[in-house]
Structure 1
Amino acid sequence: MELYEGGCELKLLETLEGHSDRVWSLSWNPATGAAGVPLVFASCSGDKTVRIWEHTPSLSASWTCKAVLEDTHTRTVRSCSWSPSGKLLATGSFDATAAIWENIGGDYECVSTLEGHESEVKSVSWNAAGTLLATCARDKSVWIWEVQLGNDFECVCVLQGHTQDVKMVQWHPATDVLFSCSYDNTVKVWADEDGDDEWRGHSSTVWAISFNASGDKMVTCSDDLTLKIWETDNVQGQNVALVFTYTVGDILIVKGLEGFVSVDISDRSAVFTKQWVGTREVAFIAVFLDDFMWRHLCTLSGYHDRTIFSVHWSSEGIIASGAADDAIRVFVEDKEADGPSYKLLLKKEKAHDMDVNSVQWSPGEKRLLASASDDGMIKIWEMNSLSTGQQHLSLSLKCQITVGVFWSLNYYRLY
């Protein structure tokens, strides 16, 4: 491994108090932070409330709590997410419901309650157009809700595929493709087609997913103490399916959108068929996006020594992670390296007194990072270059990638 010099620091700007229990999740309002509009974000907690925070630099404490959303959820509020327009806020709770909030005349009101899950709702996520909302729960299901007139919501699909608690749902930033990660150690990909997709890469619970700005890369984090980065060649198509693959002798059977593709491993020939033969023993997993494969690009390991709960990719390509070791790590792509490579830019030990549950980059021009913890605190950090000339050392992980290659579950190359 090669050593690199990084001249950055994560400076603590402010610590926000107010929640009386652990803070689970944070969400920045995407319609704020530009053209003189103050930055706003939401936080949710085990105290059954949601708090709305606004940046007010004219005050001595530059962040103030503008609203407390309460008396709607009866148990822990686990997740919160602003719609792309910033007009609606969705929250998911251990009371098995999701709630939709709207700022009406300066007051936040619950305008809709979504019921249907049989147990704790763990995550909520809006698609890029703000027309669909996904929820997931401990009941192993993913629900998709369509926004109707008058802030009504209709469940248009219930997705059953995970075998354990579903931890997070996240829409792709460019297409209506939904990703979900679970206690069953998998990431599943869902689209409005006949096919379902599944990735296996982590060896333990997958906690979170985040995309880069262009949507051609994704990072996942897990209980196995690793971050995994995935890449695809094309994000413009609509025929997206996670594909299941099977082996029958020397024949690889791939289930896709158009039926099944039989691939002879010996000479790589392929024919389309509507029939499937062979035993249902899943041997290989591949993911295609209009005939382009999502590939495992790199694994970042050895940077956290306890479960990694949260990861977020900023609009300018900076990855932050938060974990049960109370620490925050920041990574960037090493563009000077030969081949795909990511390096540790900085590390913040004891960022909180307890588990770091959420890290989220702000949508504004400044490199602001918000973090939330089991210690009940929210911290606002700013990443900037060191002016003193002091430098940090970081490690560069180099990883090789070959286009058009099938990999086994253990990442052994097939051909």
Structure 2
Amino acid sequence: MPQLQLLGGLPGHAEPAWCVTFNPTRNLLASCSTDRSIRLYSYTLPSPSPPGSTSLPSSSDSKPSFSLNKVIDTDHKRTVRSVAWSPDGRTLASGSFDSTVGVWEEVIPESDEEEDNEDGNQGVYRPAAGADEEDDDDDGISGKEKEWECVTTLEGHESECKSVGFSSDGALLASCSRDKSVWVWEVQPDADFECIAVMMEHSQDVKCIAWHPHEEVLASASYDSHIHLAFDDPDSDWTIFQKAHPKMPPAPLTIPSTSSSSLIAALMPTAEEKAAEQKLVVPPLEEDETIWSLAWSPCGRYLASGGDMGGIRIWQRRGTQPDSPFEEILHTAAHSRSVFSLSWTPSPSTPSTSETDLGLLASAGGDGKIVIWQVQLGTPSTNGHEPSESESEGHKQVLQIRPIAAVKDAHDVSDVNAVGWCVRDDKKGLGLLSSAGDDGSVKVWRIVSDE
């Protein structure tokens, strides 16, 4: 059974780190923090596996190397809560508790600009020679040194901005806030953004947003215990076509009998932890749970959500239209505290043509654990939970979710605020995972085979 191997800790933030995200086209990893900075880390991947190989690396295989690339001291006045890359990897958005969204791009410093202007070359941003070429030995940038600068600041939210994200084609940017709103911005040339929708139908703080991986469908999750699903209605404007409310009770966490000792040790509470839990009296929630996190499956047919009660819920689309409704089909116990972050990736050990392997889902939260779940379609007999039926090419199948790797105290005694898989257009780096914690640290991990 696979294991989650720690590759190392990176030069961290001075205060809690809130978000981590891999660049989709370049060897860069971004993080953000209460210290109001954004950190960029560059990395080098080991030699790729032979073509057609689907085996996981072993713990003794060559490891990726990471190093601090840039520290961007932002102009945000408060915590930078979220960062997100555009699909082309050239733009980075930041959402802050100061209620603004920053848009960052690489520009040539003014000193170099003045030299070029003297030669009659006008303009601010000019990609350097070879900037479009992939090179695992650096971050893909050559030529003149460029700096990350805030080219646009988007204003409109009345309170803390909690999450930002670009649509799959990069044409739209969304943001959400404690002011109960979700904004959609249209990306235009010359770093210009036009607000095309403001949705105010959540009744409480909106914790996160997540774009569908292939379509202009936007999910948002809130303190009001609802997931809203919205799309650009051809006959109208941006419309919320479903307000999903979690209802299923959780199934107990089932650890497969073939699990490794490390997985069992990470997921099973110790005698001391059991005793502490028995002494700790926690009153039941009087309200429905806050939904903290969302993640789409790579295929786009499923949506995962995590909330206050530590469970993971899976929602399935019932139909093929953009506004087809989603149905809650599974709820499994996962963490002993809130699930703050979810991230879903294609499986690094299964061919991309597989129709039954739905990838790996990473979850993390207030109990300090990171858990890796294998999600797949199979027969009811192999599922540890009460089966939830779905139809796949006329054959009855059920969605299965089971833990395959886990670590406890991933950031020592701190909460794990975010996890993010490396998901790139070129499929390189599959199986790499980054995490951010309340201790300000940023760590990198990878899935390896159990030797």
- TM bracket (short chain): 0.7 to 0.9
The answer for the alignment partner of 1:355 in structure 2 is 415
1:23 to 14, 17, 28: 17
Q: Quote how far apart the aligned CAs of 1:336 are.
A: 4.8
Counterpart mapping for 1:202-221 below 5 A? 203-221=288-306
Task: Please say if 1:311 is aligned against 2:342.
Answer: yes
**Residue number among 398, 421, 438 corresponding to 1:374 in the alignment:** 438
Aligned pairs for 1:164-313 (under 5 A) are 164-193=204-233, 195-196=239-240, 197-201=242-246, 203-235=288-320, 237-238=321-322, 240=323, 289=324, 293-301=325-333, 303-313=334-344
Q: Which runs of 5+ in 1 are unaligned?
A: 1-6, 33-38, 241-288, 388-415
Match 1:344 to one of 398, 403, 412: 403
Structure 1 position 154, deviation (Å): 1.0
CA 1:365 to 1:70, structure 2 compared with 1: closer, same or farther past 3 Å? closer
Q: State the distance in 2 between where 1:15 and 1:128 align.
A: 30
1:325 to 337, 361, 367: 367
- SS of aligned partner of 2:213: coil
Q: Does 1:384 align with 2:448?
A: yes
Match of 1:96 in 2: 99
Match of 1:272 in 2: none
Query: Which residue of the other structure, out of 68, 75, 83, is the alignment partner of 2:78?
Result: 75
Relative to its length, the structure with more strand (as a share) is 1
Task: For residue 311 of structure 1, give the secondary structure of its aligned residue in structure 2.
Answer: strand
3-state secondary structure, aligned to 2:232? coil
SS of 2:190's equivalent in the other structure is helix
Q: In 1, Cα distance between the equivalents of 2:429 and 2:97?
A: 35
Question: Structure 1 CA distance, aligned partners of 2:229 and 2:308?
Answer: 20
Q: Which amino acid in structure 2 is aligned with residue 362 of structure 1?
A: C
* 1:55 and 2:21 correspond: no
CA RMSD in angstroms comes to 1.8
SS in structure 2 at match of 1:150: coil
- The separation in 2 between residues aligned to 1:67 and 1:161, in whole angstroms, is 39
Asked if structure 2 preserves the Cα contact closer than 8 Å seen for 1:10 and 1:382, the reply is: yes
Q: Which amino acid in 1 is paired with 2:67? A: T
The one-letter amino acid of 1:309's match is F
Q: Distance in 2 between matches of 1:90 and 1:215?
A: 23
Q: Secondary structure of 1:135's partner?
A: strand
CA contact (8 A) 1:171 1:177 kept: yes
d(CA) in 2 for partners of 1:57 and 1:215?
Answer: 28
Q: CA deviation at 1:234?
A: 4.0
Question: What's the secondary structure of 2:346's corresponding residue?
Answer: coil
Secondary structure of the 1:201 match is coil
Matched-pair contact (CA < 8 Å) for 1:134–1:142: yes
What per-residue deviation string (whole Å, max 9, x for no partner) do you get for residues 108-144 of structure 1? 1110000111011000011111011000001000111
Query: Would the alpha carbon gap of residues 231 and 61 (structure 1) be closer, same or farther in structure 2, given more than 3 Å must change?
Result: closer
CA shift at 1:149, angstroms?
1.6
Structure-2 change in CA distance of 1:87 and 1:320 (3 Å): same
CA contact (8 A) 1:24 1:78 kept: yes
Structure 1 residues 133-142 or 105-114, which shifts more? 105-114
CA distance in 1, matches of 2:158, 2:106: 29
Which of 2, 11, 28 aligns to 2:5? It is 11
After TM superposition, the score normalised by the length of structure 1 is 0.74
Matches of 1:169 and 1:231, distance apart in 2: 18
TM-score, with normalisation over the residues of structure 2?
Answer: 0.68
Task: State whether residues 226 and 300 of structure 1, in contact with CA within 8 Å, keep that contact through their aligned partners in structure 2.
Answer: yes
Q: Tell me the CA shift for residue 74 of structure 1.
A: 1.1
Once the two structures are superposed, residues 27-67 of structure 1 have per-residue CA deviations (whole angstroms, 9 ceiling, x without a partner) of 110012xxxxxx21110000001011110469x99211211
Q: CA deviation at 1:222?
A: 0.5
| Contact 2:45–2:429, Cα closer than 8 Å, also in 1 | no
Relative to structure 1, the CA distance from residue 233 to residue 116 in structure 2 (aligned partners, 3 Å threshold; closer, same or farther) is same
CA distance in 1, matches of 2:64, 2:332: 37
Distance in 1, matches of 2:5 and 2:229, equals 37
Q: How many residues are treated as equivalent by the alignment?
A: 321
TM-superposed deviation, 1:347: 1.9
Q: Return the offset for 1:178.
A: 0.9
Question: Equivalent residue of 2:418, what SS?
Answer: strand
Deviation string 1:213-247 (CA, Å, 9 cap, x unpaired) is: 11001100001211001112444x34x1xxxxxxx
Identical positions, percent: 38
The answer to whether the Cα contact below 8 Å between 1:19 and 1:377 also exists between their aligned partners in 2 is yes
Q: Matched residues in 1 for 2:199 and 2:377: separation?
A: 39
Higher helix share: 2
Compute the displacement of 1:192 (Å).
Answer: 1.7
- How far off its partner does 1:334 sit? 5.0
Counterpart code for 1:318: L
Offset of 1:18 from its aligned partner? 3.0
Match of 2:276 in 1: none
